[in-house]
Amino acid sequence: MNLLAVDTSTTSCSVALFNGDRLLAEAVYTAGKTHSRHLMSMIHRILEGCRCEPSDIGGIAVTRGPGTFTGLRIGISTVKGLAAATGAPVVGVSSLAALAFPFVLLDCPVVAMIDARRSEVYYTQYRWAGHPATRVSVAAPETAAATLPENAILVGSGALLYREVFEDRCPRIRFADTTQHVIRAASVGLLALKRFKQQDVDTIDDLIPEYVRKSDAQIQMAGHQPRAETGVA
């Protein structure tokens, strides 16, 4: 099966193509421009370079969050369009799981951490079987630091952005190499392959972003909602 994998959940963008569990090609873009400007061209170049037609795609994987609201919408809507056009089944993958996946063989806690803006981070801890040992949380880095195992490895944009905070509060914490803080579509694809082999796929309607918290627009809208009547005179 040819599997196309896509990640647009953070400021980086990545596309990979597999044939079975063999990685054929991967592209990672970290220049930070809007994903809508280059995602489709990246997909086109990957498919063209591997002499693969869209009709040859047997499955599509995409990160569904947490991450940036705009990035998640772009990636998921693009994948939904491709799935509708090709009939390929889809699988949504946690962006935090994809970030932690390269450390699957390490016998220590791995904390995947993504910048959530508003001076907060999305984070969860893995001890690998591929499932989070803790629930996905969003909090200030100082709050997150208080929950971290002392021998953990931190990886992701949130870890990089608030490195001084974590180093100050958790002196035994280790950080991933600078090249490993970007989500790779190859990791997304390998995580999704397990589900495809089990025929555990998502419907297009069920493939929705996992935001973890409300967007700024939703908060602003809620703040302008009229107060509900209480019935108290």
d(Cα 112, Cα 179) in Å, to the nearest integer?
Answer: 14
DSSP character for 212? Answer: S
Domains in the chain: boundaries: 2-94+183-213, 97-180
d(Cα 89, Cα 207) in Å, to the nearest integer?
Answer: 11
Residue 220, pLDDT above cutoff 80: no
pLDDT in tens, 25-39: 999 999 877 798 899
Confidence of residue 104 (pLDDT cuts 50, 70, 90): confident
In angstroms, what CA-CA distances link 42 with 6, 13, 25, 146? Answer: 10, 9, 11, 40
**Who has greater pLDDT, 205 or 224?**
205
CATH code: domain 2-94+183-213 is 3.30.420.40
In angstroms, what CA-CA distances link 219 with 10, 222, 229? Answer: 21, 5, 20
**In 3D, which of 16, 8, 13, 2 has the Cα closest to residue 189?**
16
Q: C-alpha angle with apex 125: 121 to 129, nearest 5 degrees? A: 145
d(Cα 170, Cα 168) in Å, to the nearest integer?
Answer: 6
Q: C-alpha angle with apex 170: 169 to 174, nearest 5 degrees? A: 140
pLDDT in tens, 108-130: 899 999 999 999 999 999 986 55
**Beta strand 57-65 pairing with 2-7:** parallel
Residue 222, pLDDT above cutoff 70: no
Model pTM? 0.89
Q: Which CATH number fits domain 97-180: 3.30.420.40, 2.60.40.10, 3.40.50.12780, 3.90.1150.10?
A: 3.30.420.40
Domains 2-94+183-213 and 97-180 are alike in CATH topology: yes
d(Cα 56, Cα 47) in Å, to the nearest integer?
Answer: 10
SS3 category, 13:
strand
